[in-house]
A and B are shown apart, each in its own frame.
Chain A
Amino acid sequence: MPSHPKLAEAFVKDKERAKWHDQSLWFVRSKRDKAVHQLPEWELLREQASKIKSYVISHLPDLLEQFEKNATAKGVHVHWARDAKEHNEIVHSILEKHQVKRVVKSKSMLTEECHLNPYLERHGIEIVDTDLGEWIVQLQDKPPSHIVMPAIHIKKEEIGELFHEKLGTEKGASDPQYLTESARQHLRRKFIEADAGITGVNFAIADTGGFVVCTNEGNADLGTSLNKLHIACMGIEKLIPRADDLGVFLRLLARSATGQPITTYSSHFHGPKPDGEMHIVLLDNGRSEISGSDEFRRSLNCIRCGACMNTCPVYRRSGGYSYSNTIPGPIGSILGPAHDTKKHSSLPFACSLCASCTDVCPVKIDLHHQLLTWRKEIRLKGLLPFSKRLSMKMMGWMMQAPRLYQFAGTCARWVVPYLPRFLLYNRFNAWGKQRELPDIPKQSFREWMKKNHDRK
């Protein structure tokens, strides 16, 4: 699989597009700034959310049991899935039991993580994503490139082209209103025809057994209201202890994600409809292992707001696909290697350590420190490229021997100024491709000190 720098380079090559992508996401980040700076208690909310989530992660088994008990009492069927395979099998078996042929799904990164769509399609079930952005990428047969705005990388003209081809809209149409209306008409039919609705879960509440799904399009409500079977899929980290805690998270989530004070719909589910069935599938898929790691436990605090992606200067300029992981951006670069270190070993290095992600994260995950820790783990696992290892080892030796270090510097000062340009600027010098090297001064600071400063 191509590494992040390779894919990022290809993305940046189309300068205009990369600029447009950067600016679209920066716009969302600016909206977030405007919204949060109106709340003087913002930092307090973050602190509180972080504490609640940390409590949850360190009390997961108890809270999960409590949730299961309360949800069951409400008539909900609770299922446990160890990994993606089990998750998909459970979902499929429920659908099979009800002879479901058509499913509508509201946005859920978890089902993306499990690759549920292709699995169900292989078993002859039609599954339609009803979040507009996610549906667009589904029509393209691609995964989302962002966890909140799945189609943020696609221009409206391209959507017009896609809709023309797949839905028969007018050729060359790019008016968002027109395109959205066509999508709406098309999806309405899917909602009506569906025999079951699948949703994700934003927050599951241990002390009530209920759960909340946040959308801007109301598609979770529609998808679960018009049929009798609702399957909600959630990662085990999505719990919060009490209904009282919900306010903290709802205030943080939408402001961080898009700069809205709250998502248009916060749908609360407390058991099945009178003649319906409700199922919750709780997925582990490596989460309990992460919860046992002192270093990475806090990454489970994530409420999937996407703010770290919007602010990440690298994500904005390399696009979601350059991460080759269901969850891209800073948090994806932590979760990816936790799942498969070798496959995702370039991700923790796709970061300039600017720490902006750490400062926007509504649940205060120390993202850039965790990325740094991953670099260390990757080195320990022997997955660092030899060239990087060697150069750092040599630098390490040299810096322990001041004489050697001075000697190297002196040599460079003697030699470099006389080298012809092609020896300094060539394909082996990644620095010099688009940047000049600094001029080498006649003397180093320490040499100057020796000559000019009277004390040692």
Chain B
Amino acid sequence: MAPQVGLFIPCYIDQLYPQVGIASLKILEHFGADVEYPESQTCCGQPMANTGCTNEVGPLALRFLEIFKSYDAVVCPSGSCVSMVKHHYDEYLGDHPDYKRLKEKTFEFCEYLTGPMGIKKLDGQFPHKVGLHQSCHGLRELRLASSSEVVGEPFGNARELLESIEGVEITTLQRPDECCGFGGTFAVAEEAVSCMMGEDRVYDHEQAGTEVLTALDMSCLMHMDGIIRRQKKPIRVMHIAEIFAECL
């Protein structure tokens, strides 16, 4: 029997980018996962935790655990939210008997595809120059790819999967993994710096010839897309799951 996957769709994807949830679902089902979307889920609590409002997080962490604990795996198309669950729930759920297990079975979408599901190659075509934005939490908290600061062999499963699609050409950036400047409430609290960071990322992609800008996190893309659309740049933004789904 296929493992039962609980699909964790972060609140902002649910409300603003339903197509990303749909694409993730389609891909997972295409490869034979038995996916369920528990409807009572809301938010993992990251915005509150990152603002220091930890009182508000505890109940949300417990809710999350109750909702998802019965699944074989929890999969989410956002590295940042996965990192919240795996690395920042300790202070709220540290002694909960089910938390350790939840940590182990929660995966970022590409991580689940390339890891437990063993997908190494995608069929289909996507004839575009693709810019891969390395979202910081996926990179430096979940270690889904090597970061430029750390010495060691380079790796990155999502990149390999993307490269396996016929027609995909990944662009080469001046700064391969600099932060886009979204940072949750930082985007508003430090608006000036946040926007300059975003502009610089977009510019780097523009110079590199990126046609489609993608990432494992929609939040970074929302921020950069906001800048791209305001400045009317010829770059299209797609979550990595949307690219995969287009290849089906």
Contacts and interface: CB of A to CB of B under 8 A. Distances in A.
Interface of A: 4-5, 8-9, 12-13, 15, 18, 22, 26, 33, 36-37, 39-40, 42-43, 311, 313-314, 317-318, 348-356, 358-360, 372, 374-380, 384, 388-389, 392-393, 395-396, 398-400, 402, 405, 409, 412, 430-431, 433-438, 440-441, 443-449, 453, 455-456
Interface in B183-217: 183-200
| A interface: dominant SS | helix
A446 B41 CA distance: 10
Given A355-B141, A402-B39, A402-B40, A313 B17 contact: no
25 contacts: A5-B191, A12-B196, A33-B148, A352-B197, A356-B147, A356-B178, A360-B149, A372-B52, A376-B54, A379-B52, A389-B53, A392-B53, A395-B43, A395-B47, A396-B55, A396-B59, A400-B63, A402-B41, A405-B43, A433-B195, A437-B226, A438-B226, A444-B14, A445-B15, A445-B22
B125 interface: no
B17 A438 contact: yes
Contacts of A380: 52
Which residue, of B19, B43, B149, B188, has the highest number of chain A Cβ atoms within 10 A? B149
Contacts of A392: 47-48, 51, 53, 56
Contacts of A43: 150-152
A446 B37 contact: yes
| B interface: dominant SS | helix
B187 to A, nearest CB: 7
Contacts of B57: 396
Nearest to A439: B16
Contacts of B223: 435
A349 B203 CA distance: 25
Interface in B13-57: 13-19, 21-22, 25, 36-37, 39-43, 45, 47-57
Nearest to A436: B229
A33 B149 contact: yes
A326 B67 CA distance: 48
Which residue, of A26, A395, A445, has the highest number of chain B Cβ atoms within 10 A? A445
A376 B11 CA distance: 23
A216 to B, nearest CB: 23
B196 A393 contact: no
A46 B149 CA distance: 12
B179 interface: yes
B151 A448 contact: no
Contacts of B63: 400
A438 B39 contact: no
A446 B36 contact: no
Contacts of B100: none
Interface string B94-116: 00000000000000000000000
Contact of A359 (B36, B40, B42, B150): B150
Contacts of A377: 52
B214 to A, nearest CB: 16
A43 B153 CA distance: 12
Contacts of A359: 140, 147, 149-150
B74 interface: no
